[in-house]
Amino acid sequence: MEIKKLGTYDIVVIGAGHAGCEAALAAARMGKKTLILSINLEAVANMFCNPAIGGTGKGHLVREIDALGGEMGLCIDKTFIQSRMLNVSKGPAVHSLRAQADKRRYHEEMKRTLEKQENLLLRQGEVIDIDMDREDGVKGVLLKTGAYYSCKAVVIATGTFLGGKIFIGDTGFDSGPNGLSPSTELAEALKKRGLPMRRFKTGTPARALSSSLDYSKMEIQLGDEKPVPFSFMDENVDREQVPCWLTYTNEETHRIIRENFSRSSLFGGLIEGVGPRYCPSIESKLERFPDKERHQLFVEPEGLSTEEMYLQGMSSSLPEDVQEAFYRTIPGLENIQIVRSAYAIEYDCIDPLDLNMNLMHKAFPGLFCAGQFNGSSGYEEAAAQGLMAGINAVLWLDGKEPFIIDRSEGYIGVLLDDLITKGTNEPYRMMTSRAEYRLVLRQDNADIRLTQRGRDLGLVSDERYEKYLSDKKAMEDEIARLEALKIKPSVANTVIVREGGSPVENGASLAELLKRPELTYDNTEEIDPERPKLSYHVRTKVEVSIKYKGYIDKQLAQIEKFKHLENKALPEDLDYMAMEGLRNEAKEKLSAQRPLSVGQASRISGVSPADINVLLVWLEKLRRS
Amino acid sequence: MENTTIAAISTAYGEAGIGIVRMSGPDSLDILKKVFFSKNGKSPAFEARHMYYGTVRKADGEVIDEALAVYMNAPYTYTGEDVAEIQCHGGNISVKNILSLLLESGAVLADRGEFTKRAFLSGKIDLSQAEAVIDLIKARTGRSYETAVDQLEGSVSRRVKEIRERLLDLLVSITVNMDYPDEDIEILTYERFGEALSLIDDELSKLNASSSEGRILREGLKVAIVGKPNVGKSSLMNIFLKENRSIVTDIPGTTRDTIEESASVRGIPISFIDTAGIHESEDVVESMGIERSKEAFNKADLLILVLDGSSELTDEDRELLEMSEGRPCITLLNKADKGLVLKEEGIEVSMLTEQGIDKIEDAIEGFVDSGRVRRESDVMITNIRHADLVRKALSEIGEAMEMVKAREAMDFIEVNVKAAFDYLGEIIGETASDEVIDEVFSRFCLGK
């Protein structure tokens, strides 16, 4: 094959899924000449599994991506067809936005955004090798056609394409997701270059024709009457929404599945990859929870321009005849017409412990990694890593300090720290319970936490920055106004009593009154007729910061303690092996992982509190000598 | 600069005229002001480096001790931080109670070597001393922590585990409700939450009551002295008791069902088991049979086998030697003053002249340092630490109960429940960070 040099870029992004798109946009917006390659342009920002963005923990990630100047929030706001705020009966820290997407339109919208982006070229092409070595790092990428692009940094975001293999029943064949071609040669080439790989697995349920389903036998699930935007840039996202549907499996479904356990590729021994516990196939659900009488099945539209419906909760690797049979036992699915079968897919990924905190591979300078390639799962987790990989590739090329978000600053920080410091043995999914500073890391304040930092990086547009500054000022002014606004008890009690609270005897500021559980910003409007008209985002911030001030302050104090060790930087060239007093396990782990801070070191498994004390003494010793 | 304030007892364990409890860190003065008052009940001016006379009192006014207190401001102190010292009456009770009070008031228990570490980090100790500082810290690593966990009295560790299991149940419920709102799972109601918390509160309160009596750690090394009649067992016992009668363990509540005498050898708490024979006259020879010894063998951490070195082995001696094989055992060859006949390996001693007693003590100490038991001073500190953790867990649960009453959001209350869970985990040495998430997935069928 003749090599054809087709040009030079600062950064080449391999893969245009949710990670790749954010990486490429961030790099181009920060001024780097960027190329993004996809095996097939139809695969750009494709949602190969569920047609939804957001959810618990994940919705937080989307808001953070948006606050930093990323694209996911804007794209879903334009293309959602149903939206719900989850967990509204719970505290504001776990309110989570989730939207059903029109898959086709999401793909088109994102593709067009890439196409229009200055400094960025989106091109179809299959990368079969990355030209790199351990000394000089990345030099370029080679395509299947012999085309060669020179570059200094690569962001690899290959998702389930890399070494992809699909399983349905007793069949297994090389394939990318949804029948697209897999990236097989690149998988081999990376192994040859000495990149240690492992195998993970995931799966997706069948898609069925809407006209073949009987919705009268299912429960309807509607979107929120007043949908809430993901992006801090958007205010009104009202539109006509479409319903989702809920039905359940039963004993008969389970009988058929059980009788065919041995025909599942999962139990038949074909699959070697590790699957996620939180996204089990229906056969693993039955195997692990034999006593559960029924399982939920959500029927969700794939978009407005298609009849295809997604059967959430029923991913499977059983043969197609069994799939057909068990789906038909479910109320409303008796006459189901499947148009795409459920399948399991296995793919190559790395151990994220091999990464630096800036997502650059430890062994290959210039090789940045994101998404499922790093062992995560989910569109939002991928997008967050893509954004961070893109940003850090730029900073690395410019010889600047890496951009790190710590665990107290964002879910993005929790995600990267969990992956890179602790590692994962299954595809990693974000959950609100993973964030220890949850009360501060809310989705309502993601812009307050991160937009200034995005601006400093050069990612946040003037328009977004101005919106952020004016929202922030509006919030501060309104809080100050509410603190100063005294309300007479007789006036306050009109609302308090109506809302079922016990009346107050003394006057108080409205801010003080808002701390009562029965009062909200919205239901106190009548006793505060002078209040300014504020946007959704500002109203939410005002209410939450006033109402939960006590808890938030308590958590801020914990964060200050956390920051103490987090801010103690560890020089890159420390020789841990020579540090007398560290236990051997700690020496080895620290040498391998090379944490950036003492705080990060303390979270590595096998490093004890006493090791940290010894480390502190060594740092001081080195500083003085 | 460190942001926590540490506290520790700076004087040696045991009887002494004076005891010193020291704090270092930014809150030293604030904490001192919470606990130390002049005779007139007011807070002294605490001018730096001035000694004040007064009393140490609990929040409810109960006086712990008369004492002297001094505050020294940073950076002119040993650690380079603000330091406060309370000098009280000697003995273990007073320093222990004052230390507990400081922990209740916001200080954290210092790790071994931590004052020195801080002194080094703030430049108060010469660079050449760095190794020594590391050695001090290192002394805490390795076996000592595991030993602390091992030595938890069985019933206490079982109770901590049970309470922690209940907390885990709650955390799993909260987490699954919080992270899987669309799943088909039981909703955690405030009623059920409140009931579970009050049960946990009861259990923890009981544990707190018993831990303040200092019963958390099993105390002492169980030693059985075995040998044929008249060989010198009771003399040996008397030597230990005579020397140590004055500092027999002063931590109340020691279990005494099978233990008859306690003593302290070089600061190591020792319980002699099955010492019945010792109180009997040496003339009553038939009372200590082999059967009896067998029982002692099984209960003991350490055997002391006494042989008569001045005569040949008897059948009984041989049987005892055989039984002690493979067990931790110190063999003594007594009556060495009469001239040694026996070829057995052992420590040559004479109960009569007290020759070789220091060698027995060396052997006991060596055995202890190999990691089986902790010294009394460590036991006391560990007890204080555990009691502090139980108290902290209890206070988190109290707060959580208030929040449930006020119908605060569950995910807010989760923060307190998780804190209590982690405090109890520290006691039994379990700190796996993904325990809750693992449990969520093993108990519930979740996901799309």
The structural domains of chain A, ordered by start, are 4-202+347-457 (3.50.50.60), 462-558 (1.10.10.1800), 568-624 (1.10.150.570)
Pairing type for strands A52-54 and A127-133 reads unpaired
Give the ipTM: 0.88
Size of interface A-B (CB pairs under 8 A): 133
**8 Å CB contact of A92 and B141:** no
**8 Å CB contact of B408 and A517:** yes
Gap between the Cα atoms of A145 and A143, Å rounded:
5
Closest chain B residue by Cα to residue A296: B184
Q: Note whether A59 and A230 are within 8 A (CB).
A: yes
Sign of CA dihedral B406, B411, B412, B416: positive
**8 Å CB contact of A548 and B120:** no
- Give the per-residue pLDDT at B447: 67
pLDDT band at A491 (very low <50, low <70, confident <90, very high): very high
The nearest CA of chain B is from the CA of A128 a distance in Å of 33
Q: Note whether B120 and B130 are within 8 A (CB).
A: yes
At B251, which helix (H) or strand (E)?
none
As beta bridge partners, residue A245 has: A220, A299
User: Which position has the higher pLDDT, B319 or A41?
Assistant: A41
Q: Which residues of A touch B120 (CB under 8 A)?
A: 617, 620
Q: Which residues of A touch B446 (CB under 8 A)?
A: 278
**8 Å CB contact of B411 and A90:** yes
Given a cut of 60, is residue A409 above it in pLDDT?
Answer: yes
**Nearest Cβ partner of A439 from B4, B123, B415?**
B415
**Nearest Cβ partner of B141 from A87, A90, A583?**
A583
Gap between the Cα atoms of A390 and A30, Å rounded:
9
**A342 phi, psi to nearest 5 deg:** -65, 145
Given a cut of 80, is residue A260 above it in pLDDT?
Answer: yes
Give CA separation, A616 vs A577, A598, B126, in Å: 15, 8, 15
* Residues A193-206 pLDDT 10s: 999 999 999 999 99
Angle, vertex CA A593, rays to CA A590 and CA A597, nearest 5: 70
Most confident option among B30-34, B278-282, B337-341: B30-34
Gap between the Cα atoms of A602 and B431, Å rounded:
13
The nearest CA of chain A is from the CA of B291 a distance in Å of 46
- Give the per-residue pLDDT at B354: 85
Given a cut of 50, is residue A358 above it in pLDDT?
Answer: yes
The nearest CA of chain A is from the CA of B19 a distance in Å of 27
The nearest CA of chain B is from the CA of A432 a distance in Å of 6
CB atoms within 10 A of CB A461: 14
**A138 phi, psi to nearest 5 deg:** -80, 135
Closest chain B residue by Cα to residue A515: B408
Distance of CA A68 to the CA centre of its chain: 14
Closest chain A residue by Cα to residue B121: A620
At A24, which helix (H) or strand (E)?
helix A18-29
Percent of chain A with pLDDT over 70: 100
The nearest CA of chain B is from the CA of A78 a distance in Å of 24
SS3 track for A470-503: HHHHHHHHHHHHHHHCEECHHHHHHHHHHCCCCC
pLDDT band at A522 (very low <50, low <70, confident <90, very high): very high
Gap between the Cα atoms of B28 and B69, Å rounded:
12
CB atoms within 10 A of CB A536: 15
**8 Å CB contact of A551 and B415:** yes
Q: Which SS3 state, helix, strand or coil, does residue A245 take?
A: strand
Q: Which residues of B touch A438 (CB under 8 A)?
A: 411, 415
Q: Note whether B86 and B111 are within 8 A (CB).
A: no
Gap between the Cα atoms of B424 and B430, Å rounded:
8
**8 Å CB contact of B448 and A555:** no
On whether any CB of chain B is under 8 Å from the CB of A491, the answer is no
Q: Which residue has the tokens 């993901």?
A: A230
The tokens describing A30, both together, are 């920060």
Radius of gyration of chain B (CA): 27
**8 Å CB contact of A617 and B137:** yes
At B14, which helix (H) or strand (E)?
none
Angle, vertex CA A506, rays to CA A503 and CA A510, nearest 5: 80
Closest chain B residue by Cα to residue A89: B409
Closest chain A residue by Cα to residue B119: A617
End-to-end CA distance of chain B: 49
Average pLDDT of the residues in B90-115: 88
Q: Which SS3 state, helix, strand or coil, does residue A304 take?
A: coil
Instruction: Write the DSSP assignment of A566-588 as a string of letters.
Output: HTSB--TT--GGG-TTS-HHHHH
Sign of CA dihedral A186, A188, A194, A199: positive
Q: Note whether A297 and A249 are within 8 A (CB).
A: yes
On whether any CB of chain B is under 8 Å from the CB of A313, the answer is yes
On whether any CB of chain B is under 8 Å from the CB of A517, the answer is yes
**Nearest Cβ partner of A90 from B140, B178, B182?**
B178
- Give the per-residue pLDDT at B253: 33
Q: Please, which residues 198-257 of chain A have a Cβ atom closer than 8 Å to chain B? A: 205
Q: Note whether A80 and A101 are within 8 A (CB).
A: yes
* Residues B178-235 pLDDT 10s: 999 888 888 889 999 999 999 999 999 988 887 655 444 455 677 888 888 778 887 8
pLDDT band at B375 (very low <50, low <70, confident <90, very high): low
**8 Å CB contact of B141 and A433:** no
Q: Which residues of B touch A610 (CB under 8 A)?
A: 111, 137-138, 140-141
Chain B interface, best mutation among A311, A613, A614, A615, by max B CB count within 10 A? A613
The nearest CA of chain B is from the CA of A15 a distance in Å of 25
Closest chain B residue by Cα to residue A608: B141
Q: Which SS3 state, helix, strand or coil, does residue A124 take?
A: strand
**8 Å CB contact of A433 and B179:** yes
Q: Which SS3 state, helix, strand or coil, does residue A81 take?
A: strand
Closest chain B residue by Cα to residue A93: B411
Given a cut of 90, is residue B149 above it in pLDDT?
Answer: no
On whether any CB of chain B is under 8 Å from the CB of A171, the answer is no
**8 Å CB contact of B433 and A422:** yes
* Residues A54-94 pLDDT 10s: 999 999 999 999 999 999 999 999 999 999 999 998 999 99
Domains of chain B and any CATH numbers:
6-141 (3.30.1360.120), 147-214+378-443 (1.20.120.430), 221-373 (3.40.50.300)
Gap between the Cα atoms of A610 and B138, Å rounded:
7
Asked which of A18-22, A82-86, A457-461, B440-444 is least confident by mean pLDDT, the reply is B440-444
Asked which of A87-91, A96-100, A582-586, B369-373 is least confident by mean pLDDT, the reply is B369-373
| Residue A485 exposed, middle or buried by CB count within 10 Å (0-12, 13-18, 19+) | middle
How many CA atoms lie less than 13 Å away from A308 in the CB half-sphere?
Answer: 20
**8 Å CB contact of A625 and B406:** no
On whether any CB of chain B is under 8 Å from the CB of A294, the answer is yes
Gap between the Cα atoms of B217 and B211, Å rounded:
9
